[in-house]
Amino acid sequence: MSGPALHYSYRYPFASELAATPTGDRLRLATCGGAAENPYFFQGRLTRPQRTADLLRGLGQIVQSRFHVPPAMLTRILVLADPVITSSDDILRFEAFSACCSTYARVDLLPAAIDGQLQGRGTTNVDFNAAMRAALARIRDGDKVDLSIGAEALELNRNRESIVERKVPLPLRWLKGLVEVQAYQARMRPRLDIAGADAWRFFRSLPRGIVKQTCWIEPAGRGLRVSQRSSTDGVAVGGMQRLRVLEDLARHARQLLVFAETASQTSTWVLVLDEARFHLVLSPQVWRGFSGEGQVLADLAGDHGKKVLPRVQASLKWQSRIDVPALAKQFSLTRDAITAALSVLGARGLVGYDLSEGAYFHRELPFDLSRVEMLQPRLKDARKLLERQGAQIIKQEGDLIEAMVAGTGVEHRVRLSVDGARCTCPWFAKHRGQRGPCKHVLAVQILLEACEEQ
């Protein structure tokens, strides 16, 4: 993968494994990063071991996948990030992001899935090595399987000799996508709701090959069907092969919920089990990673949240559901202001969004994300334009603002009005704002805010 990257070192005290013990199997997940070097989050027993193992295998499948690159490139790309796990009030959340930045998956283990005690709260990486993933396949529901996430200090000291270290270049677009996907989820609305058995049947009916075009999944009787026509009832899905990840898992589900945002053609597919949930978030197409969509650029460009952000950030205490009305009341702010602040915090990797709960949750990605925000290409370009004094406001009449912004060999005309922003550049002409503002619009917005401050 070309482009700038964050060189990140995974340093696990031991390799994750499924080990046989006298009392049954033990799934030991090694952790690294976050608030502590090797945090210890959980120790207990899985109540439905096979189902949990299948969910984690599904998550592993996403980590391994790159949906739009020729297989010849896979070896180089598969050396990528491990999932991250967040331990909060009562939910263990495992998050993974595909190498192509187009698919995000999250497994939520609810209290019914685990019988044990949370030992700590926080977010950390978890080793998902191939041998451990393969071993998950042999777990059956009747087995007794203990789960440990991290290890006690004593055990860590005993295992010092088996440290697993892996240096991985995490592309910035991957990191950007991982954080921006939260903003997408927050905008999605419920669209489809069917029983698990019907969902299973639907996933099995999906075409085996790669479907390049965008399709619409629409209700048909009790189940769903794939249509090639856009419809108001349907949910647009590009790169439908990504849904096949859910085929094996759907047999465990009692319900399938689909959330979507029509304008961006993004969707989230949630398999609801009695004791867990599996979220699969899809970008509009396999070649359109979440990083390139620029949905949070306007928030990042502006500084309207400067005062709100630190206060909201200070209130984060590993909540599994952040209560927006309560925060709004606490800070005497509107709910929209809190939501906007959370959106920016999401773009900084400090909160995630849980569609099933309809709420943000606190989690701090264990990566240094300071560069991610700095290197938003469009934002960076907009700032460069301003440094070169490439933007000039030529007209300001009521709500209409016109500006000329330097382009390549030509000047672009930017108009901001109550109807939205417009620009004469090819990017805007192509996407008409659906993939976020162009750099010219961003430059004018930043310029205007600077003028207002003065």
Judge whether 50 and 281 are in contact, CB under 8 Å.
Answer: no
Q: How far is the CB of 407 from other proteins (least distance, A)?
A: 7
**Does residue 207 touch other proteins according to CB under 8 A?**
yes
Neighbours of 365 (CB within 10 A): 22
**DSSP assignment of 404-452:** EEE-SSSEEEEEEETTEEEE-SHHHHHHTTTT---HHHHHHHHHHHHHH
Of 398, 409, 419, 454, the one binding other proteins (CB under 8 A) is 409
Comparing CB distances to other proteins, the nearer of 278 and 361 is: 278
Q: Which residue has the tokens 């390139």?
A: 292
Q: How far is the CB of 271 from other proteins (least distance, A)?
A: 15
Of 1, 33, 41, 32, the C-alpha closest to 14 is 32
Q: How far is the CB of 74 from other proteins (least distance, A)?
A: 5
- Token duo for residue 299: 């928030």
**Does residue 404 touch other proteins according to CB under 8 A?**
yes
Of 2, 20, 23, 75, the one binding other proteins (CB under 8 A) is 75
Of 119, 159, 227, 356, the one binding other proteins (CB under 8 A) is 227
**DSSP assignment of 378-402:** HHHHHHHHHHTT-EEEEEEETTEEE
Site for other proteins in 182-201 (CB under 8 A): 197, 200-201
Judging by DSSP bridges, how do beta strands 145-149 and 42-46 pair with one another? antiparallel
Comparing CB distances to other proteins, the nearer of 150 and 196 is: 196
Spatial distance between the Cα atoms of 348 and 396, rounded to a whole number of angstroms: 34
**Residue type (1 letter), 25:** D
Residue 293 C-alpha from the chain's centroid: 13
Q: How far is the CB of 82 from other proteins (least distance, A)?
A: 17
**Residues pairing with 365 in the sheet:** none
**Does residue 134 touch other proteins according to CB under 8 A?**
yes
**Does residue 61 touch other proteins according to CB under 8 A?**
yes
Comparing CB distances to other proteins, the nearer of 58 and 305 is: 58
Q: How far is the CB of 135 from other proteins (least distance, A)?
A: 8
SS3 103: strand
Spatial distance between the Cα atoms of 425 and 394, rounded to a whole number of angstroms: 17
Element (H, E) at 80: none
**Does residue 429 touch other proteins according to CB under 8 A?**
yes
Where does this chain touch other proteins (CB under 8 A) — which range of 22-30, 163-171, 208-216, 264-272?
208-216
Q: How far is the CB of 197 from other proteins (least distance, A)?
A: 7
Q: How far is the CB of 249 from other proteins (least distance, A)?
A: 11
Comparing CB distances to other proteins, the nearer of 11 and 321 is: 11
Of 119, 255, 313, 424, the one binding other proteins (CB under 8 A) is 424
Comparing CB distances to other proteins, the nearer of 155 and 248 is: 248
- Token duo for residue 270: 């949630």
Where does this chain touch other proteins (CB under 8 A) — which range of 21-29, 151-159, 246-254, 342-350?
246-254
Distance spanning both ends of the chain, measured CA to CA: 43
Residue 183 C-alpha from the chain's centroid: 8
Give the interface with other proteins as residue ranges (CB under 8 A): 57, 61, 70-76, 130, 133-134, 137-138, 140, 142, 197, 200-201, 204-205, 207, 209, 211-213, 215, 220-221, 223, 225-229, 247-248, 251, 404, 407, 409-413, 422, 424-426, 428-430, 432
